[in-house]
Amino acid sequence: MFDSSLFTSQFWEWFIIIPTVGGILGCFGLIIWLSGSSPDPDEKVETMGHVWDEDLAEYNNPLPKWWLYMFYITLFYSIGYLLVYPGLGSFKGFFGWTEVNQYEAEMKAADEMYMPIFTKYQNEPIAELIKKPEAVQIGHRLFMTYCTVCHGSDARGVKGFPNLQDDDWLYGSTPDVITASIMTGRQGIMPAAAANGLTTDADVNNITQYVLSLSSAEHGTKYDATAAVEGEKTFKRICFACHGPDGKGVQAMGAPNLTDNTWLYGGSESDVKETIIKGRQGRMPAHGEFLGEAKVHLLSTYIYSLSNK
């Protein structure tokens, strides 16, 4: 729909109106001009000069009346449409219809019909709701509708999107924290190497080897011990503010634990080095305003149930 507030002059409004109205009037004129009058039965009709197969000729006859009337019906319909609905610049039509009004009316009708299904569980604690299969099933349907694009249909995620089936959580796994993540979203930022003062290849390699060494004792990750010693000095000077002095992360900030074997963007040497060099920008969109508290409550119930069997 045309929004006149987007333009600074009336030129664009008339730029829409004149071609639209002119096109309809032009179609009327064209049909009248080409339709002509019905030929006299005794009058010889001339051909257009096109002949096929020796005697198959194209005659200059007017259109049949029923066909002609169909053209007029479509033109009158277009006029009626432009009077009822918006289509002529800022003119809103006699019905005052807008996409927003229709959307809001449909959403209101849907809420009146379906919202009681969600609100009846809203005041029950999530830790108790996971014991109710029907509540978990509703949350599962919400997850399949809104969350599978990023986290996958099995909720195991892909590179850059967390696995919700395990017990490794960037911000924590309590019901309140999960609900807050869905309601308000999350914004995770890992600054690039240059922003952290790592300007040489040696600096990047040293800190990469130290990060790999953090999970080596438990998971056997291979690393360069000599480079890791130098990387530890850099880590404790720059990276400890987010990941902690021992590399176990800080859930309040969403900074990951580097001592386990769970990696959001991959745990190979090349993946870790890429993360350090380029940084990461992870974003979980807020769904609170879109879904509402009742739906988020059930969605949180399903997600909480995945790691609390």
pLDDT digits (tens, 9 = 90+) for 166-194: 989 999 999 999 999 999 999 999 999 99
Q: Both 208 and 274 in a single domain? A: yes
pLDDT score for 288: 95
Query: Between 251 and 46, whose confidence is greater?
Result: 251
Neighbours of 308 (CB within 10 A): 12
Q: Both 301 and 257 in a single domain? A: no
Q: Both 276 and 292 in a single domain? A: no
Q: Both 133 and 74 in a single domain? A: no
Q: Is 108 a member of any domain? A: no
pLDDT score for 212: 95
Q: For 124, how many CA atoms within 13 A lie in the half-sphere containing its CB?
A: 17
pLDDT band at 7 (very low <50, low <70, confident <90, very high): low
Distance of alpha carbon 39 from alpha carbon 94, whole angstroms: 43
Q: Which candidate, 215, 225, 200, places its Cα nearest to that of 256? A: 215
Q: With the C-alpha atoms ordered 286, 289, 291, 296, is the resulting torsion angle positive or negative? A: positive
pLDDT band at 231 (very low <50, low <70, confident <90, very high): very high
Q: Both 180 and 290 in a single domain? A: yes
pLDDT tens digits, 103-129: 999 999 999 999 999 999 999 999 999
Long-range CB pairs of 9-17 (<8 Å, 24+ gap) are 13/89, 13/90, 14/89, 16/88, 16/89, 17/88, 17/89
What would the mean pLDDT of 212-238 be, rounded to a whole number? 91
Q: Both 142 and 77 in a single domain? A: no
pLDDT tens digits, 26-67: 999 988 887 766 556 666 767 777 788 877 888 777 778 888
Q: Is 109 a member of any domain? A: no
Long-range CB pairs of 118-124 (<8 Å, 24+ gap) are 118/292, 118/294, 118/295, 118/297, 118/298, 119/294, 121/294, 121/297, 121/298, 121/301, 122/293, 122/294, 122/297
Q: Both 151 and 299 in a single domain? A: yes
Q: Is 243 a member of any domain? A: yes
Q: Is 163 a member of any domain? A: yes
Q: Is 110 a member of any domain? A: no
Q: Both 259 and 195 in a single domain? A: yes
Q: List Cα–Cα distances, 281 to 186, 187, 188, 273, 302, in angstroms.
A: 11, 8, 6, 15, 26
In percent, how much of the chain has pLDDT > 90? 70
Q: Both 193 and 280 in a single domain? A: yes
Q: Both 126 and 245 in a single domain? A: no
Inform me whether the pLDDT recorded for 1 exceeds 60: no
Q: Residue 262: left (phi > 0), alpha (psi -120 to 50), or beta? A: beta
Tell me which residue range forms the domain holding 136: 115-185+285-306
Q: Both 162 and 292 in a single domain? A: yes
Q: Is 69 a member of any domain? A: yes
- CATH number at 154 reads 1.10.760.10
Domain count of the fold of the chain: 3
- Whole-model pTM? 0.72
Identify the residue whose tokens are 């919400």: 142
**Per-chain mean pLDDT for the chain:** 90
Inform me whether the pLDDT recorded for 6 exceeds 90: no
Q: Both 70 and 198 in a single domain? A: no
What would the mean pLDDT of 190-200 be, rounded to a whole number? 90
